[in-house]
Structure 1
């Protein structure tokens, strides 16, 4: 396809999305590869300049683990779930808010846009409560596990994000919440992005990950367009398995609560965000009602 044809294919989408809010969750390999992250940030800045209101939410699990080991603290997991004691929470805040968030804000500035870093504590953005004991099966035995300072979101107050968007900033949100007594809690970044997209009345939610989209069990097929009822059936039938399920649950909740569509896209491939948004075929999976 000629370059001018690519631009003309994008035009109706640019017109349709102008002024709309899009929430982008950055995760996976993009969080540890600076070249991939820079490409994602370039895409986000382009979206801002073609008239979209862009909000970024980021994770940082691998960097938290790396920092803990560097400080002589061995991370503790139970059935793949991180146990967050007070020291781990402090390290998570240091990495998420002090390093990753600040680094993304700097990258956005280098690309010519303005950003403000936030955590869920700022402006009571993410009000959370300590997560209940989790029932986990180890072998044939079911255990109840306390994950520590891990929260689930009770309420989102998006006013601070709305203010920043209206002033032309790109808000960059670290997934740390605050409970009603003022204590910080670690929040799952996929959940934070989905809840924030819902509270903002976002047009689209993007989850940038390490796979090409929702795939069948043997990874031989990508489902490019899915409805909520189809995803529910595929999870029940075992077609969708593993780590894709929690990502989809957040997307499904957002779409079911009014977000027009949610997209799962491989963020490791250059400019996939733009290709998913501005081309007829797209490159990942789009979930809608």
Structure 2
């Protein structure tokens, strides 16, 4: 019994410097992947967010919902087409995307946080013109003709401007914003935005101390399959050159790099399949996952 109490006391002691350091700071958390589809992990996430709030940190949650959107489209017999991992979104599809993201998913997360003792408010990027968006363009080069053609992804957008006024109008000491990544175009169009991109843009606009990206991987792994705990922009170039950072990890890393270049204190890629991973990253000395931060020293080769 004494040993167990001693361990608990040691845990609290380890957390103390971080409680002091991050009091009053904003954390933007991208919530998605397996963590959203598992009831136990969903409850733990909500409790983690509430605990952050109770110790004086201001969490802002930006969520995805790709699997849920896919399920709804399937139920409605609407086929999905993907280009480079992005869902081609026509007018009919974007209505479903908005309904699922800003409706059922958003309110489920709000409800979970409130059941855990917090006070959450659900928003989409259209509320208060929070996320002003523009159409996302992609191009693809034909290997035979070497001609590059523009791909039309429909109502898929990217953040053009984040309006922080809506946050200034809130009492962030009390409220926990939960944001669906739906943007509004200059003519009132609705755009489906990648949740990673939305979270990165919001973190940059708010000058967040941390951008936390929950994923279904442990973090960035080196060529030996070992977790890389810290990266600088220089390290990223090394790992990309080695072919270590590939596929879907590339846009996540780019989002993190953009955020730290624009003043976010650090960006961390975490394994959302680990229970209480947000607390482990925030309040322990070594943390978990991969943290990207500004700096000149290369550590990827260590």
Q: Which residue among 236, 242, 247 is the counterpart of 2:241?
A: 236
SS at match of 2:170: helix
Displacement, 1:87? Answer: 0.9
Partner of 2:293: 288
Partner of 1:105: 110
Are positions 1:135 and 2:139 aligned together?
Answer: yes
Higher Rg of the two aligned structures: 2
Distance 1:244 1:9 in 2: 31
Partner of 2:297: none
Q: Which residue among 198, 205, 209 is the counterpart of 1:199?
A: 205
Moved more, 136-145 or 162-171: 136-145
Cα offsets for 1:178-232 (capped at 9, x unmatched) = 01111111111000000000000111100011111111256x2100011121113
Gaps of 5+ in 1: none
Task: Provide the TM-score with structure 2 as the length reference.
Answer: 0.91
* Residues 1-289 of structure 1: pairs in structure 2 closer than 5 A: 2-132=7-137, 134-136=138-140, 143-217=149-223, 220-289=225-294
Displacement, 1:165? Answer: 4.2
Moved more, 238-247 or 17-26: 238-247
Aligned-pair Cα RMSD in Å: 1.6
Displacement, 1:137? Answer: 5.3
Cα offsets for 1:8-35 (capped at 9, x unmatched) = 1001100110000000000111222222
Task: Provide the TM-score with structure 1 as the length reference.
Answer: 0.95
Displacement, 1:233? Answer: 2.6
Cα distance, 1:165–1:232 mapped onto 2, change above 3 Å: farther
Displacement, 1:2? Answer: 0.8
Cα offsets for 1:45-65 (capped at 9, x unmatched) = 100000001100000111101
1:53–1:165 contact (8 Å) kept in structure 2: no
Q: Which runs of 4+ in 1 moved over 6 A?
A: none
Displacement, 1:164? Answer: 2.3
